[in-house]
């Protein structure tokens, strides 16, 4: 989010508009890693001991030496296995990225993880899979595989180069990766025939240019979750509404930056509990 923010095409959240803190929006950065140096009644940070290593989710201003944040959006990383002694750069890469990914899975795939058809894998497709959020979604799904009541999960992705695809296959645990080319679009690689299995969840930051193919790739009852519009926000081709009725598919989306701190904090703390239970960072 920082590049479009700096370019002036990503406005500040509503809570900053018209406030004395609007000048803070000139400082980019949505997530931070560091040490608690002070607590106060307004921030509620007094409940976290001074000197504690933490990560935090903020609306603006993370690219600074010090930042004031609500305690609800602070992640006490010392309590999460694998993060106790992690570098600040690592801690600062977690709150926004993983909370965005967690928001998607909380809304849609997690119920499937805990109660879907026996023996049938949950099939998830992640577009722009080598992005921070794409990798975070995959990481959460891999961690979910370790839960006692979780069944099989197939993780597929699309990327723009073979180099990225190799990393996803070898290091990120993807089962199948398609490299987008003009000659062979992603949907033909992942679903070479109409009989090929479809997806229960598609996570997409691309938008309009993938919309029609995404709908075709959804399984009955499947969900297309939009996160951004890198490929535009207006679809060029007409889409039949019959698919929504006959196949029971859903198209939805989410954003995080504009949400109030209490909402962000609830997601962040839920994610922290999951990360602790699954030891996903070890």
CA angle 186, 190, 195 (to 5 degrees): 130
Closest CA to 31 of 120, 132, 118: 132
pLDDT at 47: 77
| Distance of alpha carbon 277 from alpha carbon 145, whole angstroms | 12
Structure tokens at 150: 């979780």
Q: Locate tokens 């965005």: which residue?
A: 100
pLDDT at 18 over 70: no
Structure tokens at 49: 């001991």
Structure tokens at 29: 């950065």
Q: What is the pLDDT of residues 196-224, one digit of tens each?
A: 889 999 999 999 999 999 999 999 989 99
Half-sphere exposure of 62 (CA within 13 A, CB side): 23
Closest CA to 5 of 33, 27, 37: 27
Half-sphere exposure of 68 (CA within 13 A, CB side): 8
Q: What confidence category does residue 194 fall into, taking pLDDT thresholds of 50, 70 and 90?
A: confident
Q: What confidence category does residue 14 fall into, taking pLDDT thresholds of 50, 70 and 90?
A: low
Q: What is the CATH number of domain 97-253?
A: 3.40.50.720
Q: Residue 37 to residues 50, 52, 69, 88: CA-CA distances in angstroms?
A: 5, 8, 12, 15
Average pLDDT, the chain: 87
Of the segments 95-99, 151-155, 243-247, which one has the largest average pLDDT value?
A: 95-99
- The domain segmentation of the chain, as residue ranges, is 2-93, 97-253
Q: What is the CATH number of domain 2-93?
A: 3.90.180.10
Q: What is the pLDDT of residues 38-91, one digit of tens each?
A: 887 655 445 789 999 999 998 888 898 999 898 899 999 999 999 999 999 999
């Amino acid at each position: 989010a920082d590049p479009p923010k700096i370019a002036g095409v990503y406005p500040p959240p509503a809570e900053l508009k018209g406030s004395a803190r609007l000048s803070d929006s000139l400082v980019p950065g949505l997530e931070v890693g560091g040490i608690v140096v002070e607590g106060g009644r307004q921030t509620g940070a007094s409940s976290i001991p001074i000197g504690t290593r933490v990560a935090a989710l903020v609306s603006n201003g993370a690219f600074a030496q010090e930042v004031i944040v609500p305690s609800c959006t602070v992640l006490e990383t010392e309590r999460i296995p694998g993060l106790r002694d992690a570098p600040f750069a690592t801690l600062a890469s977690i709150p926004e990225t993983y909370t965005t990914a967690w928001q998607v899975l909380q809304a849609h795939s997690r119920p499937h993880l805990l109660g879907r058809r026996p023996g049938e894998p949950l099939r998830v497709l992640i577009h722009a899979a080598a992005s921070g959020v794409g990798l975070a979604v995959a990481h959460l799904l891999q961690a979910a595989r370790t839960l006692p009541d979780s069944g099989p999960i197939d993780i597929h992705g699309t990327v723009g180069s073979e180099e990225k695809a190799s990393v996803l296959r070898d290091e990120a645990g993807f089962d199948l990766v398609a490299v987008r080319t003009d000659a062979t679009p992603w949907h033909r690689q992942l679903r070479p025939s109409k009989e090929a299995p479809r997806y229960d969840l598609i996570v997409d930051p691309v938008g309009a240019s993938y919309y029609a193919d995404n709908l075709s790739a959804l399984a009955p009852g499947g969900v297309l979750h939009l996160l951004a519009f890198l490929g535009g926000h207006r679809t060029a081709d007409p889409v039949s509404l019959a698919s929504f009725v006959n196949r029971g598919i859903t198209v939805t989306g989410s954003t995080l930056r504009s949400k109030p701190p209490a909402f962000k904090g609830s997601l962040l703390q839920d994610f922290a509990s999951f990360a602790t239970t699954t030891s996903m960072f070890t």
